[in-house]
Amino acid sequence: MDKSGYNIAIASGKGGTGKTFVSTNLFNVLKQDSLPVTLIDCDAEEPNDREFFPGELTNCFDVTQEVPVIDASACTYCGKCAEYCHYNAIFFLQEARMIQVVEDLCHGCGACFVACEYGAITAKESVLGSVNTYQIDNNATLTEARMKVGVHSPVPVIKAAIKQAKPTDLVLMDAPPGTSCPFIQTVNLADYVVLVTEPTPFGLSDLKQSVETLKTMGKSYGVIINRAGLGDEGVYNYLEKEKITLLMSIPFDRKIASVYSNGKLLTNELPEWKAKFRELLSLITAQLWK
């Protein structure tokens, strides 16, 4: 395996541990080393990667799903569509002859179209969000999944964004927090998962849950500890006990916090970090070969 064509997800159970910080800096270093690289911002509820890289928007499209429209004149109020709908998105009162689509609850599964025997249901496109691709330089691409505010699940937008990745690129995926559906959809396609945590009891509790999930999925993974120096020894003891690779340790440092808070990249502002992020990639690659 060479340095192209595989997928690395950067994830964390707990929010705000530094996923975006790690993703953007790793991307920045690979970009400067002229490796073909794509960064996909899969945190569709709150995408932020884009703010760190000026670039030209080269492609953008809406992600939609089909929601039903019920034609009251053709509807016989049989209720079969409501019975087929597993998401309670069709509100139906037989006696009152009342039927209504609750678009917010619809998952776009299409069951109601199959259910209706009277041709009373037609489809309408509803926008869930967009996928925006930016060319950052010749070899570096940034693709952003952006869910529309008010939409309930980011999963369809995330899936559509991941499909955009060039198979020959080294792909970095900035994953959404947690271990539920959006996280699973992202790491499912990863060859390696970098878990970013902080050395606190909250960080440890969430890290354990992420590790258990990745074990079940059969993924290889390693850990980055961010804000080292705050908190306690719990995470370190856990990594040792579980024999989990510590890929990198980033100290809590007001200087680093200040660089990030201004929307700047540590690997540009403090060049000694460039070498550390290169080393991070070598460590990941070594683990992949193992």
Partner 1 sequence: MEIAVISGKGGTGKSAVSAAFATLNERVVLADCDVDAANLYLIFSPLIQEEKVFISGQKAVMDKDICSNCGICMDYCRFDAITEINGEILIDETSCDGCQLCVRVCPVEAITMIKEDKSRLYAGDFRNGKMVYGRLSPGEENSGRLVDVVRDKAKKMAKASDIDTTIIDGPPGIGCPVISSVTGVDRVVVVTEPTLSGLHDLKRTLEVTSNFSIKTQVLVNKYDLNEKMTDNIEAYCGEKGIAVTGKIPFDPRVVEAMVHCKSIVEYAPDSEVAQVISKAFKLI
Count residues binding partner 1 (CB under 8 A).
59
What binding mask, one character per residue, do residues 7-46 give for partner 1 by CB under 8 A, x or -?
A: ------xxxxx--x------------------------xx
Shortest Cβ distance from residue 75 to partner 1 (Å)? 20
Which of the stretches 90-98, 104-112, 243-251, 275-283 binds partner 1 when contact is defined by CB under 8 A? 104-112
Q: Are 152 and 104 in contact (CB under 8 A)?
A: yes
Stretch that binds partner 1, among 68-76, 103-111, 238-246, 278-286 (CB under 8 A): 103-111
Nearer to partner 1, 8 or 151 (CB): 151
Residue 145 interacts with partner 1 (CB under 8 A): yes or no:
no
Q: Which of 53, 152, 174 is nearest to 106 (CA)?
A: 152
Q: How many whole angstroms separate alpha carbon 235 and alpha carbon 221?
A: 15
Packing angle of the helix pair 234-242, 201-217 (nearest 10 deg): 20
Cα 232 to Cα 278: distance, rounded to the nearest angstrom? 28
Does the footprint of partner 1 cover residue 209 (CB under 8 A)?
Answer: yes
First to last CA, the chain: 11
Q: Which helix (H) or strand (E) holds 11?
A: strand 7-11
Closest CA to 52 of 265, 258, 272, 266: 265
Note the residues at the interface with partner 1 (CB under 8 A). 13-17, 20, 45-46, 48, 51, 65-66, 84, 86-87, 107-111, 114, 147, 149-154, 159, 176-182, 184-185, 188, 198, 200-202, 205-206, 209, 212-213, 216, 230-232, 254, 257-258, 260-263
